[in-house]
Amino acid sequence: MPAEAILLQDEIPRRNTRRHPMAGVRDRLFHALFRRLTLTYARKVPHSVRRIIEFVFLVQAVICLCLLVYIHIVFNHGPTTCLRHIENDWPKSGVLRVEVVRNVRTDYSIIESYEKEYENVNIKKQLDEKEEIEKSAHSIVEAPYTNLSIDNEEFLESKIPIKTKFKNNTLNMLYDVKDSEESEGKRLPFERAISDMEKLSRMVWPEEKYIFEYALEYGFLRLSPGTRQKLNISVMLVVLDPSRDSCFGDPLARFILDEFLGYDDVLMSSIKYLAEKENNKGFLRNVVSGEHFRFVSMWMARTAYLAAILVMFIFTLSVSMLLRFSHHQIFVFIVELLQMLENWNNWTIPILFPAAPLLTVVLALVGMEAIMSEFFNDTTTAFYVILTIWLADQYDAICCHTATTKRHWLRFFYLYHGAFYAYHYRFNGQYSSLALVTSWLFINHSMVYFFHHYELPAVLHEEHISDAVNQTQGDGTGSGRDTNNQRATSGHRVRILRRNGDVNYQSQMNNFLDLLSMRRTRTENQSNNATEDGGVNEVLRRMDEDGDASESNLRPGVETEV
């Protein structure tokens, strides 16, 4: 068990005299809460259960890491070839529409695909005939084929979202909000009979839709189906079935994609395979989410890891600084509010709300999130990265008290967090959600490990010494005799030097425990008071000599007193 000692209030070093007076109050409050919760946790949770908790967190992290490695090997080492068979046939002057449908029917057409895109609107100006649309759209249901492995290291494609937002005015010509009066009793061509059970199943388990459109001209992706028909823009529909197509990997890979990751990255990789063959890399549209991307050529060298680590340090330190400043301002405001409520009859005490600092912090955090969204190409990933930094910062500020935790835990945090940045930056955000979850699980395990092995024993040891001192002082006060001996035991401060592997520390602790036992013996055998007084004074003298002799030989450290 690591050795810890009680730090007396009058011995707290004051290194920074310019700190805000509320900063010390906040630190002591959080330390008291942490100590109380730690003691409650130690009483309620036995040692074996703590080891089980550590093991569970570690197993979760290792499983996620294995899944990430497996998915990366299956889908990243070679190109995803779901669209290899149409690389010479897809309409380069039109639009390629790719959709994932489970157990697809043989008569599945582009009309039903458009239905999924506009399922919440009603068509008022309808297309002339269903056959006319099918003439301009080559509907293909893909057959199984073998994978093709090529070296993908020298050329990588990056998906960069197009931030310009356009209002789809062309949709207003064809589609409008459903009008029950006009549509009552009329059956639209796009509608088909749906059973009650199918409606119920769609309400309880909504069907996940994966639809992407790719074109060399960005304007084609903005056109509605009717406008594409008028302008004679051909649309090719390729339907992929995860249960039949071999490009989705083995059964384990299909299970992971279906239950956890989804098919977005697979579809993007498949379309990227076609974009690599073109001089104009083209544009990509996620029909479901409405996001737009463009493909650009990038040369990703090994030195990209250094840039990722540098960005990680900048983002982490900036977010941590802003969050700590905001916490301090909120705490100061709460303290002033409580003081005003305590002196409610004295309204001369003004209360100041830190509006300007809080507004500055909020705007700075919004700006940081925008910058991080540009780096990650995803606002959700940026938000969860900020949340991870906030949780780690709270753990470092509240739970890290021992020298070992302060020295080593941050290294583990930067190692795991930097690994996520390096993976995201090196592989252009592919499977970044799984990488972020893996990084967080390893960080979480490091938190639990350092808490169980260093912080919890330190708090228990501190509580044990405090109880022993209080019990000794209570025994000495009850006897009411020998005031000199009481001053020696309760007023004299026994110096305990915190050193890792220090032999002198163990001898001092033995002397301290001898002192406590002799103090108890004195209260029980008051007849031998004089002899015991000499023994107590001799123990104190030996401890002072040992402490003075070891201070010059030991390396620099923190000296605390009881």
> Bridge-partner residues for 123, per DSSP?
175
For range 182-188, the mean pLDDT: 38
Q: What is the pLDDT of residue 554?
A: 40
What pLDDT score was predicted for residue 65?
94
Are 54 and 152 in the same domain? no
Q: How many CA atoms lie within 13 A of 280 on its CB side?
A: 10
Mode of pairing for the β-strands spanning 122-123 and 210-215: unpaired
478 touches 490 (CB < 8 A): no
> Is residue 528 one of the residues assigned to a domain?
no
Here the tokens at position 300 are 């990703």
Q: Which of 271, 298, 325 is the last residue of a domain?
A: 298
Residues 110, 179, single domain; the answer is yes
User: Domain range holding 234?
Assistant: 78-298
- Angle at the Cα of 290 from the Cα atoms of 141 and 368, rounded to 5 degrees: 135
412 falls within a domain: yes
Assess contact for 95 and 234: CB atoms under 8 A. Answer: yes
Residue 144 included in any domain:
yes
Query: Which is higher by pLDDT, 432 or 187?
Result: 432
How many structural domains are present in the chain? 2
Same-domain pairing of 271 and 374 = no
pLDDT, residue 299, reads: 62
Looking at this protein, which amino acid is placed at residue 45? V
d(CA 497, CA 3): 9
Strand bridging mode 495-497 / 559-561 = antiparallel
Report whether 22 contacts 335 (CB < 8 A): yes
Q: Which is nearest to 77 in space by CA: 196, 253, 197?
A: 253
Domain presence at residue 506? no
Single out the residue of 202, 35, 185, 211 nearest to residue 116, CA to CA. 211
Taking only the tens place, the pLDDT of each residue in 332-385 is 777 777 777 776 666 666 666 667 777 888 888 888 888 998 888 888 899 999
What 3-state DSSP class applies to 463?
helix
Flag whether pLDDT at 422 surpasses 70.
yes
Q: Are residues 170 and 309 in the same domain?
A: no
- Which whole number is the average pLDDT over 61-68? 93
More confident residue, 32 or 203: 32
Lookup: tokens for 378: 């995803």
Amino acid (1-letter code) at residue 335: V
Is 21 within the bounds of a domain? no
Q: In sequence order, which residues have a C-beta less than 8 Å from that of residue 308 and are 6 or more positions away? A: 418, 421, 422, 424, 425, 426
For residues 389 and 321, is the Cβ–Cβ distance under 8 A?
no
Tokens linked to 62: 């290792």
Distance CA 305, CA 378 (A): 20
Pair 99, 65 in one domain: no
Max distance between CA atoms of the chain, in angstroms, equals 115
- Residue 384 placed within a domain: yes
Tell whether 550 is covered by a domain.
no
Full DSSP string of 466-497: HHHHHHHHHHHHHH---HHHHIIIIISPPEEE
pLDDT of 358: 77
Boundary residue ending a domain (404, 439, 456): 456
281 with 256, same domain: the answer is yes
**What 8-state DSSP symbol labels residue 448?**
H
Q: Which amino acid is at 186?
A: K
| Pair 351, 337: CB distance under 8 Å | yes
Residue where a domain terminates, one of 243, 268, 298 = 298
How confident is the model at residue 57, as a pLDDT? 95
Same domain? For 280 and 342 the reply is no
> Do the Cβ atoms of 76 and 152 come closer than 8 Å?
yes
Residue 372 lies in a domain: yes
Q: Using pLDDT thresholds of 50, 70 and 90, give the confidence band for residue 496.
A: very low
In 303-362, where do the E strands start and end?
none
Q: State the Cα–Cα distance between residues 334 and 351, nearest whole angstrom.
A: 10
How does pLDDT run across 309-322, given as a tens digit for each residue? 999 999 999 999 98
Let me know the angle formed at the C-alpha of 556 by 555 and 557, rounded to the nearest 5 degrees. Answer: 115
| Same domain? 245 vs 272 | yes
Q: Residue 160 has what pLDDT? A: 40
> Hey, which residues does 497 pair with through a beta bridge?
559
* 419 and 309 co-located in one domain: yes
Pair (120, 258) in one structural domain:
yes
Supply the pLDDT for residue 277.
81
Exposed, middle or buried: residue 504 (CB in 10 Å: 0-12, 13-18, 19+)?
middle
Model pLDDT, residue 544: 56
In this predicted model, what pLDDT tens digit does every residue of 230-245 receive, in sequence order?
Answer: 898 889 988 888 888 8
Residue 456 pLDDT grade (very low, low, confident, very high; cuts 50, 70, 90): very high
* Judgement on whether residues 291 and 399 belong to the same structural domain of the protein: no
- One domain, residues 337 and 281: no
